[in-house]
Structure 1
Amino acid sequence: MQMSYGKLFIGRKVRELREANRATQAAFAERLGISTSYLNQIENNQRPVSAAVLLALAEKFQIEIGSLASGDDDRLLSALVETLADPIFDGYSPSLQELKLVVQNAPGFAHSLIASHQAYRRTSEQLASFDNQLGRSSALSEPTAFEEVRDFFHFVDNYIHDLDVAAEKLAAQLDLPERNAEAAIAEYLEQTHNVRIMRAPPGNDLLRRFDPASRVLFLNSYSPPATRTFQMAYQIAALEQQADIQRIITNADFRTHEASEICKIGLQNYFAGALILPYQTFMASAKELRHDLELLSTRFGASLEQVSHRLSTLQRPGMKGVPVFFATLDRAGNITKRHSAARLQFARFGAACPLWNAHQAFEAPGRIIRQLAETPDGVRYLSIATEVSKSVGGYKAPHRRYAIALGCEISYAKDFVYADGLDLANRDVFEPIGISCRICERTNCPQRAVPPLKAKLSFHPLSRSIQPYIIP
Structure 2
Amino acid sequence: MEQDYIKLIFGLKLKQIRSERGLSLFGLSKLSGMSKSYLNEIEKGKKYPKPDKIALLSEHLDVPYDDMVSLKLDKNLAPIGEILQSKLLKEIPLELFGIQESTMIDIISNAPVKVTAFISTIIEIARNYNFSKESFYLASVRSFQEANNNYFDDLEQAVIKFAKTYQINLNEKISTQELEDVLTEEYGYTINNDELSAHIELENLRSIFVPKTKTLLITKSIDDSQRAFIYAKELAYNYLNIKERLYTFSWIKFENFDEVLNNFYASYFAGALTIPRQSFVNDIKNLFEQKQFNAKDFNATLFKYNGSPESIYQRLTNILPKDFNLNNLFFLRFSHRKNSNLFYLNKELHLAKQQSPRANENNEHYCRRWASLKVLEEISKNDSEHAFDIQISNYPEENTQYLVLASATKDPFRSDRFRSIAIGIKLNTQLRRKVNFLDHKSLKKIDVGVTCERCSIQNCDVRQVLATRLASKEKEAKTAAVVKQITERYS
TM-score after normalising by structure 2: 0.55
2:367 match: 353
Residue 388 of structure 1 aligns to which amino acid in structure 2? Answer: T
Q: In the TM superposition, what is the alpha-carbon distance from 1:301 to its structure 2 partner?
A: 1.8
Give the counterpart of 1:422 among 438, 441, 444.
441
Residue 191 of structure 2 aligns to which amino acid in structure 1? Answer: I
Q: Which has the higher contact order (CA 8 A, sep 6+)?
A: 1
2:48 match: none
Q: Distance in 2 between matches of 1:118 and 1:450?
A: 31
Q: In the TM superposition, what is the alpha-carbon distance from 1:257 to its structure 2 partner?
A: 4.7
- Residues 412-437 of structure 1, C-alpha deviation per residue, up to 9 Å, x if partnerless? 3796798695356xxxx632223456
Residue 319 (structure 2) pairs with residue 337 (structure 1): no
Please tell me the root mean square deviation across aligned C-alpha atoms, in Å: 4.2
2:178 match: 184
Q: Which has the larger radius of gyration?
A: 2
1:374 match: 394
Q: 1:259 to 1:346 in 2, by over 3 A?
A: farther
Q: Verify the 8 A CA contact 2:192 2:215 in the aligned structure 1.
A: yes
Q: List runs of 5+ in structure 2 lacking aligned partners.
A: 1-102, 109-113, 246-253, 289-294, 337-341, 380-385, 479-491
Q: Verify the 8 A CA contact 1:118 1:143 in the aligned structure 2.
A: no
Q: Verify the 8 A CA contact 1:171 1:278 in the aligned structure 2.
A: no
Residue 415 (structure 2) pairs with residue 403 (structure 1): no
Q: Verify the 8 A CA contact 1:327 1:406 in the aligned structure 2.
A: yes
SS in 2 for 1:391: coil
Residue 177 of structure 2 aligns to which amino acid in structure 1? Answer: A
Q: In the TM superposition, what is the alpha-carbon distance from 1:401 to its structure 2 partner?
A: 1.9
SS in 2 for 1:314: helix
Q: Percent identity?
A: 19
Q: In the TM superposition, what is the alpha-carbon distance from 1:245 to its structure 2 partner?
A: 8.2
Q: Distance in 2 between matches of 1:216 and 1:124?
A: 41
**196-205 or 269-278, which moves further after superposition?**
196-205
Alignment of 1:55-74 (within 5 A): none
- Residues 77-132 of structure 1, C-alpha deviation per residue, up to 9 Å, x if partnerless? xxxxxxxxxxxxxxxxxxxxxxxxxxxxxxx99x99999879626615746x99xx
Q: 1:285 to 1:142 in 2, by over 3 A?
A: closer
Q: 1:260 to 1:293 in 2, by over 3 A?
A: farther
- Residues 283-303 of structure 1, C-alpha deviation per residue, up to 9 Å, x if partnerless? 122223449542223221211
Give the counterpart of 2:446 among 426, 431, 435.
431
Alignment of 1:267-306 (within 5 A): 267-290=265-288, 292-306=297-311
Alignment of 1:48-447 (within 5 A): 120=121, 123-124=124-125, 126=127, 144-172=136-164, 173-201=167-195, 202-204=197-199, 205=203, 206-242=205-241, 257-290=255-288, 292-314=297-319, 319-320=323-324, 322-323=326-327, 324-331=329-336, 332-341=342-351, 344-347=355-358, 349-350=360-361, 352-365=366-379, 366-375=386-395, 376-392=397-413, 398=415, 400-410=417-427, 412=431, 422-423=441-442, 430-436=445-451, 442=456, 444=458, 446=460, 447=463
Residue 336 of structure 1 aligns to which amino acid in structure 2? Answer: N
SS in 2 for 1:190: helix
- Residues 389-408 of structure 1, C-alpha deviation per residue, up to 9 Å, x if partnerless? 1224xxxx545422111232
Q: Distance in 1 between matches of 2:348 and 2:260?
A: 16
Q: Distance in 1 between matches of 2:127 and 2:421?
A: 30
2:484 match: none
TM-score after normalising by structure 1: 0.57
Q: Distance in 2 between matches of 1:277 and 1:305?
A: 12
Q: Distance in 1 between matches of 2:373 and 2:307?
A: 24
Q: Verify the 8 A CA contact 1:367 1:387 in the aligned structure 2.
A: yes
